[in-house]
Structure 1
């Protein structure tokens, strides 16, 4: 984790002033928005990366995450017609001709293409007699060979009987290198997307086990290249595993096997770097994929045993697989925006879902704590989905999902509670940068309201009311049973605050604030919210 410091906020402030103007000077600092990491697409210039990261930094982000490209099966004929190979069709024919000269007894078994906005180094090439790179404008193409003997064991290329070819198309405008450089200047940390296992042709949610020997050898080269090119980068803190799987007691065995095999390579090539995964969960009762909190608990343990460092479960509100409701709201109708979700429709939360977001993150925390007792250390983060289900005004060319609102993001933060150690969000591009029918981009709304109060938990301790959340200090606490409303008298104020850079398992900026329990408030007074000069928080339920 990159430690925050006075220098960090000075760097952020100067960069913000350059990008956003003098108004941004009040936005950088420990009182930022609780979400501190985002997924980003690649970019073709350092200026583009600088602009995106600087604005994200202004909201409080210190982490950038990227997906890894996926090799795609193809054939030589199709490859010739695809960009960028169509610009130089002789490349494919020459690859076949040269292979026959180097490995005369070899048969080409499979062909893969791999697109990356990167400029790999010499570490990608292992067979000097055959493998090489060719530049076409700003594009670089690497042709790689993965030889096997007749029984399918790896062999030397000249005596190979079977060869799989991988054609990598990269760029002289290395997006990953530029990301690391700009993130380093802002003292941000980056999880680079490592290669993603090919999809099974029949069961696309599974990694393709048959081709894993070739994929793992290819991934090993890429990881070795990262070690060589980025080993000295302080911003490069780890890799992101892009293969997704459900959090469940009975989960995808092929994905777990892929995790284990690929993570061994990370430990060998990138010692000290962390491995992050972001699985998803589904609480819908009317879908066969729906699971209970107990199943989530066991699923987290399965994933943790594949040698990961960070598990950041998707809260699944963007897809509507889980609802943002309190236990006492189980009989309430689901939000209108969830009516379009398969297996939900117009019903109540209790009829639609096995459990709410809070219970799932609680189960995940229980699993992580039980692993700690066994000597297995895993950090639990929360990936809050920054989009909404349904079709409407597009928010970028890559999706038909809708952008969400800050109000709903605040509620997602509230429902995750104190269980995750860090809050990240899928994704910055372009859910936070598009307008899509709203007055302004979501990022601008967050910048304007970054310090509005968010309560995530409430507890009564004797005659004290202790609230946990963000930007609560100095506020007024309101306690209600739905009819009467009572104002809690001021207490001792801030009991504790999680400062940026402090070690621990709570998100930066989380604070515990104390009020006196209001006289006359009975057991039914469980609905609590806080008002500060920046507005009202949403309502939290005491004890949930």
Structure 2
């Protein structure tokens, strides 16, 4: 390792334009000169006997200016800005959770939806009673009931939900419910056929705060965005991966009532939009047309009733070679088909990266022949990444970006903030286990094409202490880690551009092979920095770019080049391998 260059003399520094007063000890030569002159004067000056010798005035050197301490820049936030959360019936709990997420760098929270379930009179909530009779039966009176449903979302629905004459708000046995009537034919309140579908909704404690309203209120106060989960149908009994749309009519009417209620009580800045609870793979197969029909129906309703609000949908990857995998072409076309359901609103397509379920692989070309980690191995078995997965997640996000291009939809990423349970990473009673920061950094490297990164799930994958330290604490202890997501090497100019997170004010070590086969290496300070790179290019707004110049050179296109960045916090990135192209 080369030694540090010797510092130049004070004179040289002055000639170069560096004022000595700005340097520690720069006034010492002047002080020595004054002392020498005083000594010489003392030896040669003999005063006359009649002359009173004046007191010698001692001239102190100018006081040294204090050199300001170099401030270490504050650490950035982790490049995830949204989290799935569970809602609480207590406003204070919701507010504190959102405040914690904001302090951690998040600005968005998302809740899952609730199922609108077909029911019988006997399966309705037993504690919803009017005068000793089931609340639905009592409210129906002489009306003919076609079908009962429950929507037990734990909310405390207010009187704004009551739109039709038969609708009732019920407080029974300390619980709060609403009973809502929908015509089986047409819309409005009156049914031409005389038959009605009846929904019993709510089920919160009568004294509780409404979870959705309190989240919207907390998000507004904190300047955050809240996406509420939409109503969803149950799954089919014959094909459990598809929604049961046999009651699409009642579901459509109830979705509209749900949105009308939000427009009446939650029409605040914190309510940014809604989340599609029903999931599908990132596939172009017509098998999933029922899911697309559901998305389109609900998107139309949102755009009509709350036209300034957005929607989120989160399709999942499955790149496992030993399963019915999704090819890159299918992923591109599947993304486009989802985007085409937007019906005029802004639709954010947050692709699940599959690293928490073992369905996707975050690996680079340099890792392709390396063994999968122990978490993935618990799902796909032992072997190399390339032997277990069709392609790395990066390629799927590139395909998805191509799919949304020109549709008006926005590509997000849903980083799965957990790992397959592998025996030593249990996270409470969750189905999956706790992951690691190093694994999440690798996941982030694959998502450069996404405008925003959200994550499943704050509680409790980020807060459990399965390994003795919560994931949140792990991330906080490594916020300054530089994460490279992409590089370009222009040999003709010597310019190397490096994109990623936490790169600014850094130095880069670049290793490459010239066309003549000679290995080259240079460590250089960045000659250019663009902190707004992501914003300017429609990517993650926390994505940065730095540029270094290695000088005009040649590049052997059959050999990978390697870039490593050390940032302003003095933290070094992992080696990032790139194939010249």
TM-score, length basis structure 2: 0.79
Is 1:327 equivalent to 2:357 in the alignment?
no
Is 1:195 equivalent to 2:231 in the alignment?
yes
Question: Residues 491 and 521 (structure 1 numbering): CA distance in 2 closer, same or farther, change over 3 Å?
Answer: farther
Q: Which has the higher contact order (CA 8 A, sep 6+)?
A: 1
Using the TM superposition, give the Cα deviation of residue 311 of structure 1 relative to its aligned residue in structure 2, in angstroms. Answer: 0.8
Range 187-196 or range 423-432, more displaced: 187-196
Is 1:78 equivalent to 2:114 in the alignment?
no
Distance 1:242 1:189 in 2: 18
Equivalent in the alignment of 2:546: 513
Please give the secondary structure, in 2, of the residue aligned with 1:52.
helix
Would the aligned equivalents of 1:498 and 1:510 in 2 still touch at CA under 8 Å?
Answer: yes
Q: What is the 5 A alignment of 1:114-513?
A: 114-128=151-165, 130-136=166-172, 139-148=175-184, 157=190, 160-171=193-204, 172-231=208-267, 233-251=268-286, 252-288=288-324, 290-307=325-342, 309-341=347-379, 344-369=380-405, 372=406, 376-390=407-421, 392=423, 394-397=426-429, 399-417=430-448, 419-436=449-466, 438-461=467-490, 462-480=493-511, 486-498=521-533, 505-513=538-546
Equivalent in the alignment of 1:112: 149
Distance 1:460 1:292 in 2: 29
Would the aligned equivalents of 2:187 and 2:253 in 1 still touch at CA under 8 Å?
Answer: no
Range 191-200 or range 318-327, more displaced: 191-200
Any unmatched runs of 5+ in structure 1?
1-25
Range 305-314 or range 170-179, more displaced: 170-179
The CA deviation string for residues 524-544 of structure 1, in whole angstroms up to 9 with x for no partner, is 352322223353223322258
Question: Residues 98 and 168 (structure 1 numbering): CA distance in 2 closer, same or farther, change over 3 Å?
Answer: closer
Any unmatched runs of 5+ in structure 2?
1-71
Using the TM superposition, give the Cα deviation of residue 70 of structure 1 relative to its aligned residue in structure 2, in angstroms. Answer: 1.3
Question: Residues 139 and 527 (structure 1 numbering): CA distance in 2 closer, same or farther, change over 3 Å?
Answer: farther
Distance 2:258 2:487 in 1: 47
Range 347-356 or range 89-98, more displaced: 89-98
Please give the secondary structure, in 1, of the residue aligned with 2:102.
helix
Question: Residues 91 and 176 (structure 1 numbering): CA distance in 2 closer, same or farther, change over 3 Å?
Answer: farther
Equivalent in the alignment of 2:14: none
Would the aligned equivalents of 1:457 and 1:541 in 2 still touch at CA under 8 Å?
Answer: no
Question: Residues 381 and 91 (structure 1 numbering): CA distance in 2 closer, same or farther, change over 3 Å?
Answer: farther
Question: Residues 451 and 185 (structure 1 numbering): CA distance in 2 closer, same or farther, change over 3 Å?
Answer: farther
Equivalent in the alignment of 1:10: none
Task: Please provide the CA RMSD for this pair.
Answer: 2.7
Range 526-535 or range 206-215, more displaced: 526-535
Question: Residues 80 and 234 (structure 1 numbering): CA distance in 2 closer, same or farther, change over 3 Å?
Answer: closer
Question: Residues 92 and 263 (structure 1 numbering): CA distance in 2 closer, same or farther, change over 3 Å?
Answer: farther
Range 264-273 or range 326-335, more displaced: 326-335
Range 114-123 or range 401-410, more displaced: 114-123
Using the TM superposition, give the Cα deviation of residue 260 of structure 1 relative to its aligned residue in structure 2, in angstroms. Answer: 1.1
Question: Residues 498 and 47 (structure 1 numbering): CA distance in 2 closer, same or farther, change over 3 Å?
Answer: farther
Would the aligned equivalents of 1:333 and 1:346 in 2 still touch at CA under 8 Å?
Answer: yes
The CA deviation string for residues 172-229 of structure 1, in whole angstroms up to 9 with x for no partner, is 4111111122222221111111212332233232121111100110110010011111
The CA deviation string for residues 413-459 of structure 1, in whole angstroms up to 9 with x for no partner, is 11112x111111111111001101x2321112222322221111111
Using the TM superposition, give the Cα deviation of residue 280 of structure 1 relative to its aligned residue in structure 2, in angstroms. Answer: 0.7
Aligned residue pairs, count:
492
Equivalent in the alignment of 2:22: none
The CA deviation string for residues 354-375 of structure 1, in whole angstroms up to 9 with x for no partner, is 1110000001111222xx1xxx
TM-score, length basis structure 1: 0.84
Selected match of 2:134 from 76, 90, 93: 93
Would the aligned equivalents of 1:191 and 1:239 in 2 still touch at CA under 8 Å?
Answer: yes
Question: Residues 156 and 228 (structure 1 numbering): CA distance in 2 closer, same or farther, change over 3 Å?
Answer: closer
Would the aligned equivalents of 1:59 and 1:446 in 2 still touch at CA under 8 Å?
Answer: no
